[in-house]
Structure 1
Amino acid sequence: MRKALLFAGATVALIAGTLVGLPGTSQAAGPLPCDIYGAANTPCVAAHSTTRALLAAYGGNLYQVRRASDGATQNIGLLAAGGYANAAAQDSFCANTSCVITIIYDQTSRHNDLFIEPAGTAGPANSGVPADALPVTAGGHTVYGASFSGLMGYRHTAASGVAVNGQPEGMYMVTSGTHVNNRCCFDYGNVEVQIADTGNGHMDAINFGTECWFAPCYGAGPWVQADLENGLFQSSAGPSQNSSNTGNSAPFVTALLKNNGQNFFALKDGNAQSGGLTTRYSGPEPTRGGYSPMHQEGSIVLGTGGDNSNGSIGSFFEGVMTAGLPTDAADNSVQANVVSVGYGAASPVAGGTLNPGSTISLRATTACCTTNYIRHQNNNAVTSVITSSSSAVDKNDASWIVRRGLANNSCVSFESRNFPGDFLRHSNFQLYRQPMDGTALFRADATFCPQAGRSGQGTSFASYNYPTRFIRHYNNTVYIASNGGSNAFDSSTSWAADVSWAVSSPWTP
């Protein structure tokens, strides 16, 4: 559905219906990750994804959403068996309200479904992730990843078939290197039955973030690490023994951990969009007591630590757990399949418009500053001069993906081009780039309603929850500002020009 909005004689076209996907097939070719691991005699005992099937024969549901308006729930399935998520079903069900993901279904016959995690000894009860915070493309289709922003997590206690008491296992997840922090613990894998720390070796989970438990950690991260309880391990000693492992900050990352439960574990990562896996560590279990043999308990967690330490942020697109230690050949084949999916944040429609899905840049129209664009820098929204000779980083920072308004479909929100799941939002009237946390306040703060430019040119963007305030640049910082007021940035001098923006083609497509 398309809806035209008329503002003082100026029409701004906004797509208010379902997201538009790129041309492509609904089914991936060849065996999928769990088919590959199964053929290598290490079958999947859990397979979770919000984006696609992980077994070629799977035709069931991927996840369940619950909408805020009436508490109703709906399962989101596939376009075809072995294919990609039916994001249009979510868009339709959640139209004009918000949804959270309540269940991520296990695609294996073991039904190790992930439910919103209750309180543990180290953290309060969690919320589900916002269902629409992380739109990406996979297989040529718009789908949704799961964007965690703290106090969010999922768990299945006493899962079926998951390794216990020193049994071998493997696991991988596709995550993102651009949406991370240094808080404990963005994990996927094997954890305690109780939501509590029950001792060394009682966890065996992939961790991905910038928390350095054992120094030194080289570079800025984020790193793939093994959360084996009471430590994030990059080696048997704990600290990194690989100075070339400075982390993987790619937008899409394959993170892999495997552990024979007795005397060996390995860590690998790779770019989920291209290339193969790099082994970051392969060797003995940690030398500290309790890790050799392991004491896994066989539950599954996503997004928190074993005791529900839930201060981390992160992204999740897919992941599996296996019975038995996978071969390197199987790992490599799985990585090749992940790459074939074509995960991306590419715009599904032509850039330079306010149609949701379009990538844009916002240029100042004030006479002083017509080469300045809104960009994020150290999480702050500022204006900077951007030209064809600017660095790729600056161009990326000055490019935004238009999304349907998080609080109102008739308005718009702006997602960072190179930080999927992060949006432009105001706080205390200043604008920042922050991860979408799913709250009603964030949704309102990140929603802006286009109007004809107050100066007579371009477009002005009124704050959804402060409708007399508009996005304005003032001394190279970006605010929502009224025309006159007690704050310096509310000055009426050049206000009309400062709140009028040229919606232009993006510096980064």
Structure 2
Amino acid sequence: MRREKSTAGGGLRRSARWALLRPLRHLLSAVAAIGLVLGALIALPGVSQAAGSLPCDIYGAAGTPCVAAHSTTRALLSSYNGPLYQVTRASDGARADIGLLSAGGYANAAQQDTFCQDTTCRITKVYDQTSRHNDLTPGPAGTSGMGADRGADASEIAVTAGGHKVYGIWVSPGVGYRYTGVASGVAVDGQPEGAYMVASGTHVGSDCCFDYGNAERTPADTGNGHMDAVSIATTCYFAPCTGSGPWIEADMENGMFQGDNGSNTANRGNNSPFVTAVLKNDGQTKYALKGGNSQSGALSTWWDGGLPTRAGYRPMHQEGGIILGTGGDNSNWNRGTFFEGVMVAGYPTDAAENAVQSNVVSVGYSGETDVPNGPQGTVTGPGGKCMDVAADDTGTNGTAVQLWDCQNWAEDQHWQHNADGSLSTIGRCLDIEGNGTANGAKVELWDCDGVGGQKWVQQADGSLLNPQSGRCLDSPSGATANGTRLQIWDCNGAAAQKFSVNGGAPVVGTGSKCVDVAADDSGGDGTAVQLWDCQSWAVDQHWYHNADGSLRTLGRCLDINGNGTANGAKVELWDCDGVGGQKWVQQADGSLLNPQSGRCLDSPSGATANGTRLQIWDCNGAAAQKFSVNGGAPVVGTGSKCVDVAADDSGGDGTAVQLWDCQSWAVDQHWYHNADGSLRTLGRCLDINGNGTANGAKVELWDCDGVGGQKWVQQADGSLLNPQSGRCLDSPSGATANGTRLQIWDCNGSAAQKFKLS
């Protein structure tokens, strides 16, 4: 589909909603997996009930064989033992095919980790697992979009599947893949076909287009009915729509159809972290849309009826190309995350689709899909302005990097400081124009390629040094106006060169020393974790306390060696894999408990010397076990009470949000104000009950789903505005007692509505 990119006039930025794991030591039970698929398979004659019945086996047995099968996470055919995808290394251009741990199994993520260590990689090919070789590569420029597609950052999103670390495809603006021409076996000119994909329901957008399926042979809009691709997006193309999405939609060119003739209020959307999106089309008179939670349950049928009566869709005119992450004319402005998908010849049966959903559920997908793996934060420069990309979240190679007012929703103001010293956002790196070294050389966005002009080291005086040139990031003449183009200049310690990389937060231990990685911002698996003098510029001292209890820096987790539980077991850095030795819970006495072992993070004999290797030990409340996790920040309200979750660090959907005495150890009082305007703690968001807008509507904790009732904007008077309702967070009648349930109310500037984001 083609849809023009929205822009804001008057120079204002466009506002857009946007939304590691080493192989587990304990595999999921194969028997449990079989049990999950058993019921659906019984209904499908001729399909084996063995654990090897994967999606293409199921479709094939039902008479609708796969003609394309793409995944970076697993095999989709039980006999498949080839490569899943190809990665290309930025440092030297070398390529590697990433395969499977075993035939019909899961991706060998460790192969990618080894190949891409100390550099960045892009996914440059997604292999077709069928015999038709309908492989996908970054697509050419089309009649719309931002130019030719680029491959996704290969390590941007890691999740767990089948108990194994695997990588998805993180699609940001400009990323996309295509089979240009007529793919072998793919439907053309009104032939029947079906498709499904597993994608994120939380990393979504409303721009065009995050699609997977049949598209034009070349990237140009050739008319209604020339596409047949499944999509998940917050695009309400044909009003009215129910809720705020995201919805499973059919992109049949020049329209995102939620069912019927475009609008379909029965389509209530799917917003789980992993979504199964299903489309089938007989090419003549009917189509169907289904959606489900890829982690549990069955598919919901959102539409099963006639094709649109608008001109061009009866019959269809598919051209047989394949797209992933873009529209048919290469509109590549949207975002999403792709894990797996297939296209089949023929009109699939409901029984086959149900069996495929059961198989998907059996995989046990888990992890966060709305944030990339690397720690991200703003880079704050002169005048309190943020380092920003000029092109509003869609920067291409050569786009200027500048100062701009900090905007928490701006994706291109969220930078990741990588282990190789690069700073990246929206899939590209902060780069010196022409890899220059002279005073006044401008900085820009460019594909991450590992050159010296992309290395940045935070200095003790707050500057950002580029070692190759020996010069620092600089705002010319100390300018602070929006749009000031940044450059490099001789380091001089002036305010014009103060740029603070703000991602993560220190974990402060005994002797006021910080938890530190021994290898100076480049730690690999097994690197010792120690005490060291706190250094604001040390990237490996900035930790993220994640919703699953892990503590992460440099893309890896604080881990107990060998997943040990004994007194004296050392701690280290390791790929995040979800094991018990990577879970840490802040206690009221200031200690960090590892629940699996029942022991606490400890400095041996209370040592405070730089380089002291940390361990676990019986919890004893001593100074040697005081480690304060400073990630997130309290939201302080009336009476100097904190915004708190009622259930003591374990709140589920619908848990009340209230006032309570501020407690530095309370994880559920540490909130993250995210780029989309949401406030998150414990992996969920501050939400208005029922997405309500009326005075007195209560606030609660709920899965982050991007609805209007989860958006909060700090106002100049100290209040927190919910833009959808036009009302402010409020303590009823100005109450300050512990347990006071919070609500929304007409904004009035009173003390009852003062909530300060720290």
TM-score when scaled to structure 2?
0.48
1:68 paired with 2:90, answer: yes
Q: Supply the distance in 1 between the matched residues of 2:307 and 2:281 (Cα, whole angstroms).
A: 8
Q: CA deviation at 1:241?
A: 3.6
Q: Secondary structure at the match of 1:317?
A: strand
Q: CA deviation at 1:30?
A: 3.1
1:21 to 19, 24, 27: 24
Question: Which residue of the partner structure matches residue 136 of structure 1?
Answer: 159
1:187 paired with 2:211, answer: yes
Q: Secondary structure at the match of 2:168?
A: strand
Q: CA deviation at 1:409?
A: 6.7
Letter of the 1:65 partner, please give it.
V
Question: Which residue of the partner structure matches residue 197 of structure 2?
Answer: 173
Question: Which residue of the partner structure matches residue 137 of structure 2?
Answer: 115
Question: Which residue of the partner structure matches residue 224 of structure 1?
Answer: 248
1:456 paired with 2:478, answer: no
Q: Supply the distance in 1 between the matched residues of 2:114 and 2:126 (Cα, whole angstroms).
A: 19
Q: CA deviation at 1:184?
A: 0.3
Deviates more, 1:445-454 or 1:299-308: 445-454
Q: Supply the distance in 1 between the matched residues of 2:630 and 2:506 (Cα, whole angstroms).
A: 12
Q: CA deviation at 1:19?
A: 3.0
Aligned residues: 398
1:467 paired with 2:491, answer: no
Q: CA deviation at 1:439?
A: 5.3
Does the C-alpha gap of structure 1 residues 468 and 454 become closer, same or farther in structure 2, counting only changes over 3 Å? farther
1:247 to 243, 264, 269: 269
Letter of the 2:160 partner, please give it.
T
Q: Please give the residue correspondences for 1:89-488 in structure 2 after superposition, counting only pairs within 5 Å.
A: 89-123=111-145, 124-157=147-180, 158-242=182-266, 245-345=267-367, 379=409, 407-408=418-419, 456=512, 459=515, 467=537
Does the C-alpha gap of structure 1 residues 21 and 340 become closer, same or farther in structure 2, counting only changes over 3 Å? same
- Higher RCO, 1 or 2 (CA under 8 Å, sep at least 6)? 1
Q: Supply the distance in 1 between the matched residues of 2:291 and 2:158 (Cα, whole angstroms).
A: 23
Q: Secondary structure at the match of 2:159?
A: strand
The gaps in structure 2 that reach 5 residues or longer are: 1-19, 34-50, 376-406, 431-445, 458-500, 523-534, 544-627, 632-664, 669-681, 684-758
Q: Is the 8 A contact 1:407 1:447 kept in 2?
A: no
Letter of the 1:156 partner, please give it.
Y
1:33 paired with 2:103, answer: no
Q: What per-residue deviation string (whole Å, max 9, x for no partner) do you get for residues 53-74 of structure 1?
A: 0000000000000011101000
Q: Secondary structure at the match of 2:232?
A: strand
Q: Supply the distance in 1 between the matched residues of 2:423 and 2:191 (Cα, whole angstroms).
A: 50
Q: CA deviation at 1:247?
A: 1.6
Q: Is the 8 A contact 1:459 1:502 kept in 2?
A: no
Q: What per-residue deviation string (whole Å, max 9, x for no partner) do you get for residues 73-125 of structure 1?
A: 00000000000000000000000000000000000000000011110000211
Q: What per-residue deviation string (whole Å, max 9, x for no partner) do you get for residues 209-234 of structure 1?
A: 10111111110100000000000011
The gaps in structure 1 that reach 5 residues or longer are: 1-16, 348-356, 360-376, 382-404, 414-420, 427-436, 473-499
Question: Which residue of the partner structure matches residue 388 of structure 1?
Answer: none
Letter of the 1:19 partner, please give it.
R
Q: Supply the distance in 2 between the matched residues of 1:134 and 1:108 (Cα, whole angstroms).
A: 25
Q: Supply the distance in 1 between the matched residues of 2:261 and 2:24 (Cα, whole angstroms).
A: 47
Q: Secondary structure at the match of 1:171?
A: strand
Q: What per-residue deviation string (whole Å, max 9, x for no partner) do you get for residues 252-292 of structure 1?
A: 00000000000000000000000000000111111101100
Does the C-alpha gap of structure 1 residues 443 and 412 become closer, same or farther in structure 2, counting only changes over 3 Å? closer
Q: Supply the distance in 1 between the matched residues of 2:60 and 2:244 (Cα, whole angstroms).
A: 36
Q: CA deviation at 1:235?
A: 2.1
Q: Secondary structure at the match of 2:229?
A: strand
Does the C-alpha gap of structure 1 residues 22 and 156 become closer, same or farther in structure 2, counting only changes over 3 Å? farther
Q: Is the 8 A contact 1:64 1:73 kept in 2?
A: yes
Q: Supply the distance in 2 between the matched residues of 1:105 and 1:443 (Cα, whole angstroms).
A: 35
Question: Which residue of the partner structure matches residue 398 of structure 1?
Answer: none
Q: What per-residue deviation string (whole Å, max 9, x for no partner) do you get for residues 414-452 of structure 1?
A: xxxxxxx999x99xxxxxxxxxx9858899968769686
Q: Supply the distance in 1 between the matched residues of 2:130 and 2:502 (Cα, whole angstroms).
A: 38
Does the C-alpha gap of structure 1 residues 422 and 328 become closer, same or farther in structure 2, counting only changes over 3 Å? farther
Does the C-alpha gap of structure 1 residues 332 and 459 become closer, same or farther in structure 2, counting only changes over 3 Å? same
Question: Which residue of the partner structure matches residue 438 of structure 2?
Answer: none
Question: Which residue of the partner structure matches residue 429 of structure 1?
Answer: none
Q: Supply the distance in 2 between the matched residues of 1:257 and 1:234 (Cα, whole angstroms).
A: 11
Does the C-alpha gap of structure 1 residues 455 and 149 become closer, same or farther in structure 2, counting only changes over 3 Å? farther
Does the C-alpha gap of structure 1 residues 468 and 268 become closer, same or farther in structure 2, counting only changes over 3 Å? closer
Q: Secondary structure at the match of 2:360?
A: helix
Q: Is the 8 A contact 2:505 2:542 kept in 1?
A: no
Q: Supply the distance in 1 between the matched residues of 2:417 and 2:342 (Cα, whole angstroms).
A: 31
Q: Supply the distance in 2 between the matched residues of 1:471 and 1:291 (Cα, whole angstroms).
A: 54
Q: Supply the distance in 2 between the matched residues of 1:442 and 1:331 (Cα, whole angstroms).
A: 48
Q: CA deviation at 1:126?
A: 1.0
Q: CA deviation at 1:246?
A: 2.8
Q: Supply the distance in 1 between the matched residues of 2:178 and 2:374 (Cα, whole angstroms).
A: 35
Q: Supply the distance in 2 between the matched residues of 1:91 and 1:463 (Cα, whole angstroms).
A: 17
Q: Quick check: which one's strand share is greater?
A: 1
Does the C-alpha gap of structure 1 residues 142 and 290 become closer, same or farther in structure 2, counting only changes over 3 Å? same
| Higher Rg of the two aligned structures | 2
Q: Secondary structure at the match of 2:58?
A: helix
% identity of equivalent residues: 56
Q: Is the 8 A contact 1:189 1:300 kept in 2?
A: yes
